[in-house]
Amino acid sequence: MRFRAEIIKIEHPTRGDDTRAWGPPFAEYSQTLRKEGPGESAYFLSSLQVNRNKKSLALSFATSSGQRLLHQLACKCDILVENFLPQSLSKYGLDYTSLSQLNPSLIYASITGYGQYGPASSRAGYDVMVEGEFGLMHVTGPRDGPPVKVGVAVTDLTAGLYTANAVMAALIQRGKDGKGQHIDVALSDVQVATLTNIASSALVDPKSNPRRWGTAHPSIVPYQAFKTTDGDILIGGGNDRLFGILCERLGKPELAKDEQFNVNSRRVKNRELLEKLIQEETSKKTTGEWLEVFKGSGLPYAPVNDIQATLQHPHVQARGLVEEVQHLECGPLKMVTPPVKYSSSQASIRSAPPVLGQHTDEILREILEISEYEVAQLRTKGVIS
């Protein structure tokens, strides 16, 4: 069994998805096409947007004809996902209230910065703004440095994952009562929820205000990156037993018996001294040498790799996380594959991210059963491209 959801991406007929212009870098057009322009943006091609396995319908819903087409599609589809400001689609008749009257079984998911209600709901929300406003940047960055954003749009990603889970739950419910529903996902809500233990600490102790720890952990020591002669290595002494293993492998078994460090609470209290002692040892060898020292010990450890080293990592290759696909205009492209493995199903890259309007004719003819003449008329009027 394979996942076979047919996903239709509605794009502006001339400029398309905003992320098509977010570059460089761009994947260059194939030389055989002799097409002008920089190519397809790596951002649009990325798994963040999950544009693989999608079909592109280039359509303007600012026109009454475009609205009618989307109404027809909504009647034939199971799920609609949108990320416009609350109420902004109502003037086109594309809000949940309007479409649910046409298709009561429609599951309609709205992803916004601040949700469908609340004092901030009318504001545009981007990942970095939400990271800053809702606590993530406060706990991200060097201990004594300024707050920083996470290197990827993590709040966007987690919002998407929460939405996917919510849609699956709504599908199960619809299977019981036949009714669709409106799913309200706010990046701000998701960011607060994913503070997890940090939020819990602040709620348990209202006088506390968790701080930045760099790669370290506020409640576990040692649990961070240490410098080597040629890079960094992460070490996780998550309990007293693992700390003992670390001390043995560092050649400092006496540290495990030292009353300043023999239990985690004391290691937390005396973290600066312990970190200094460990750093003195790790700085004597290369990262590769320490990987060999820790190998087979049961101690959690890992090198800190850059992105190229990550993509070429033997484990990444063995897990099949990079796959080559054929793009319509750029030729062969390497992409990151779906990360979850199934025993009797297969998640795969069936098609490369689409070029703008690649499937417009196919969708209108095969799903909406519109004639070639009508499609041509819509294109002439600028409703589609």
Amino acid at the residue 372: E
Residue with tokens 């870098």: 25
Catalytic (active-site) positions? 156
Q: Which pLDDT value is given to residue 4?
A: 67
Residue with tokens 């004809």: 65
Distance between CA 146 and CA 342 in Å, rounded?
42
Can you list the domains of the chain with their CATH numbers? 7-194+313-380 (3.40.50.10540), 223-304 (3.30.1540.10)
Residue with tokens 């794009």: 11
Q: Which pLDDT value is given to residue 2?
A: 47
Q: Is 154 exposed, middle or buried (0-12, 13-18, 19+ CB in 10 A)?
A: middle
Distance between CA 345 and CA 294 in Å, rounded?
36
- Contact between 235 and 300 under an 8 Å Cβ cutoff? The reply is yes
Q: Which pLDDT value is given to residue 41?
A: 92
pLDDT in tens, 183-200: 999 999 999 999 998 999
pTM for this predicted structure = 0.90
pLDDT in tens, 8-59: 999 999 999 999 999 899 999 998 887 888 999 999 998 555 788 999 999 9
* Spans of the chain below 70 pLDDT: 1-4, 47-49
Query: Can you give the three-state secondary structure of the chain, one letter per residue?
Result: CECCCCEEEEECCCCCCHHHHCCCCEECCCCCCCCCCCCEEHHHHCCCCCCCCEEEEEECCCCHHHHHHHHHHHHHCCEEEECCCCCCCHHHCCCHHHHHHHCCCCEEEEEECCCCCCCCCCCCCCHHHHHHHCCCHHHCCCCCCCCCCCCCCHHHHHHHHHHHHHHHHHHHHHHHHCCCCEEEEEHHHHHHHCCHHHHHHHHHCCCCCCCCCCCCCCCCCCEEEEECCCCEEEEECCCHHHHHHHHHHHCCHHHHCCCCCCCHHHHHHCHHHHHHHHHHHHCCCCHHHHHHHHCCCCCCEEECCCHHHHHCCHHHHHCCCEEEEEECCCEEEEEECCCCCCCCCECCCCCCCCCCCCCHHHHHHHCCCCCHHHHHHHHHCCCEC
Distance between CA 115 and CA 192 in Å, rounded?
13
Q: What is the largest CA-CA distance in the chain?
A: 84
Q: Is 114 exposed, middle or buried (0-12, 13-18, 19+ CB in 10 A)?
A: buried
Residue with tokens 């260059």: 28
Q: Which pLDDT value is given to residue 1?
A: 40
- Contact between 136 and 191 under an 8 Å Cβ cutoff? The reply is yes
